[in-house]
Chain A
Amino acid sequence: MSLSERLHPGINLAGTDPEGHEAAEEVLFGFWIFLMSDLVLFAVLFATYAAMSVQGIAEGPGPAQVFDLTAAFLETLLLLLSSFAFGFALLAMKYRENRRSVLAWLLATGILGIAFVGMELHDYYVMVTAHAATPQTSGFLSAYYLLTGTHALHVSSGLVWMAIMAIQIAVFGFDKRVKLRLMRLALFWHMLDVVWIGIFTFVYLFGVTS
């Protein structure tokens, strides 16, 4: 494999354009570092949640009383499927450069993402109405809402970004910038999956068994 092929095996920027690859590398590397600092933020929120979910329950309900594992499992499926769909969008971009199929896959991703956010909002609604578990109830719930809320905000901003990228694909086609942005959005989206797996495991699974 040549150097330029090795650099970005997942995306076909331009097989014959080593300079394009080099320029892309800087941008993607920068985005990886951004993701890293974002992950530090999530790490801090996880740590806060870990402390508060044990010590901060006060007189409010505990994790086992408020979490709905079925809903969380369905949300996990939705988010993982959306990542899967995004993967197909990138493959379509790499091998076909076909606007319609890329847009279709992005649409699928977006719908799954919206469904995820919708389900999460519904979870909040149930917690507030059925269990009176608002973020103001206890430190534990404050930490829960902040952690999952930050993740949901990330997903929502990813959705906005996706919509903008759909417009840019329609307007500009697949030029280098659009491709790079899509690739960064994909990284972002997959990172949110990883974070959600953490939330599902440490918040929901550990929570209902505690």
Chain B
Amino acid sequence: MTSRQIVRLLAAAVPGVAWPGIACAGSFLEPAGPVAAAQISHLGVISALMLIVIVPMFVALPIVLLRYRRGGKGTYRPDWEFNWGLEILIWAVPVALVLALGTALWKHTLQNDPYRPLGPDPLVVEVVALDWKFLFLYPEQGVATLDLLALPQGRPVTLKLTSGTVMQSFIVPSLAGQIYAMGGMQTQLNLLADQSGDFTGRNTQYNGLGFATQSFTTRVMSPSAFEDWVDATKAQGTALDAAGYQSLLPASVVHTPVLYGSFEPGLFDQVIASFAPRMGHGAAAAPATSETPHHSMPMPETGQ
């Protein structure tokens, strides 16, 4: 049984309720890439392991209550307070379980590090979080979009994120988990889509009145369709220059995606440099290999 089936089973185990919405395009319950698939299966593994401590409580508590209720059959032993066997059991089982869970956690965390590229030659997309929209820059293709993340199917993608405003949290649940986008700093998220289709992505960190509607479409297409899309965008879109970027800064909600046939080169680094002038260079040149340090340009690692 795969762990995904386990999750389904768990879900179905709650009686009396139908489970609508399992197939929604904005959730990792229906993954469209290896990262999200690994996340949901890890969820299943951990949940199943946790049953080891949960089930005994649900079984034992009713029995104890029935047996030792006032007037029940159990022997009254008011001074009983300790038993070495039980004591070892209730410490050893959680310790063993945490060893198992911890190992699983360690492996999964390292394997699915959002900074680890998912293959050679990833497509690099630079993401600028704005109030209440996302700007996507394709340095390789020279195109840019607002609130539309077009991706080729099957090719690894490296997203580099920063914010032109407050901190935001970027997620496309069907493809991968979230990562913060912060002003003057760059974070990274690697993902890969193995199904084509439209998936919802959004900001999950509250950033004001337009927060609820700050979502965008992630459109995964076949590699050739992606090439066509790039060409079409180049042909018909307008250019995004520095002034155009400035005009995006005031808070606004974007209802239909905007396409730009070209954008000012180095715009992403300029956005970072606008908050952290001394730190704006170096990372742009850093290759997106597995050796790329975390937070390559800006800040020390949090919490270290």
Whether B258 sits at the interface, judged by CB under 8 Å, is no
Sample of 7 more A-B contacts, CB < 8 Å, known A54-B300, A58-B276, A58-B278: A51-B300, A55-B299, A55-B300, A57-B278, A58-B277, A59-B277, A59-B278
Complex contacts, B300 vs chain A, CB 8 Å: 51, 54-55
User: How far, in angstroms, from A54 to B278 measured CA to CA in the complex?
Assistant: 12
Complex contacts, A55 vs chain B, CB 8 Å: 299-300
Complex contacts, A57 vs chain B, CB 8 Å: 278
Complex contacts, A59 vs chain B, CB 8 Å: 277-278
Whole-angstrom distance between the Cβ of B63 and the nearest chain A Cβ = 46
User: How far, in angstroms, from A39 to B299 measured CA to CA in the complex?
Assistant: 27
Which residues in chain A, 47-89, are within 8 Å of chain B measured between CB atoms? Answer: 51, 54-55, 57-59
Nearest A residue (CB) for B279: A55
User: How far, in angstroms, from A55 to B300 measured CA to CA in the complex?
Assistant: 8
Whole-angstrom distance between the Cβ of A207 and the nearest chain B Cβ = 18
User: How far, in angstroms, from A58 to B280 measured CA to CA in the complex?
Assistant: 11
User: How far, in angstroms, from A58 to B276 measured CA to CA in the complex?
Assistant: 7
Give 10 CB contacts A-B under 8 Å. A51-B300, A54-B300, A55-B299, A55-B300, A57-B278, A58-B276, A58-B277, A58-B278, A59-B277, A59-B278
Binding site for B on A (CB under 8 A): 51, 54-55, 57-59
Of A54, A55, A59, most buried by chain B (CB within 10 Å of CB) is A55
Nearest A residue (CB) for B300: A55
Q: Mark B290-301, 1 if CB is under 8 A from A, else 0.
A: 000000000110
Nearest B residue (CB) for A54: B300
* The 3 nearest A-B residue pairs measured at CB: A55-B299, A59-B277, A55-B300
User: How far, in angstroms, from A55 to B302 measured CA to CA in the complex?
Assistant: 12
Nearest B residue (CB) for A55: B299
Nearest A residue (CB) for B302: A51
Whole-angstrom distance between the Cβ of A142 and the nearest chain B Cβ = 15
User: How far, in angstroms, from A59 to B278 measured CA to CA in the complex?
Assistant: 7
Complex contacts, A58 vs chain B, CB 8 Å: 276-278
Complex contacts, B277 vs chain A, CB 8 Å: 58-59
Whole-angstrom distance between the Cβ of A65 and the nearest chain B Cβ = 15
Nearest A residue (CB) for B277: A59
Complex contacts, B299 vs chain A, CB 8 Å: 55
User: How far, in angstroms, from A51 to B302 measured CA to CA in the complex?
Assistant: 10
Nearest B residue (CB) for A51: B300
User: How far, in angstroms, from A73 to B26 measured CA to CA in the complex?
Assistant: 61
Whole-angstrom distance between the Cβ of B209 and the nearest chain A Cβ = 29
Complex contacts, B278 vs chain A, CB 8 Å: 57-59
Whole-angstrom distance between the Cβ of B148 and the nearest chain A Cβ = 34
Nearest B residue (CB) for A57: B278
User: How far, in angstroms, from A57 to B299 measured CA to CA in the complex?
Assistant: 12
Q: Mark B206-233, 1 if CB is under 8 A from A, else 0.
A: 0000000000000000000000000000
Whole-angstrom distance between the Cβ of B304 and the nearest chain A Cβ = 11
User: How far, in angstroms, from A57 to B276 measured CA to CA in the complex?
Assistant: 10
Q: Mark B256-279, 1 if CB is under 8 A from A, else 0.
A: 000000000000000000001110
Whole-angstrom distance between the Cβ of B4 and the nearest chain A Cβ = 42
User: How far, in angstroms, from A51 to B298 measured CA to CA in the complex?
Assistant: 13
Whole-angstrom distance between the Cβ of A137 and the nearest chain B Cβ = 14
Whole-angstrom distance between the Cβ of A136 and the nearest chain B Cβ = 16
User: How far, in angstroms, from A55 to B278 measured CA to CA in the complex?
Assistant: 10
Which residues in chain B, 28-59, are within 8 Å of chain A measured between CB atoms? Answer: none
Complex contacts, A51 vs chain B, CB 8 Å: 300
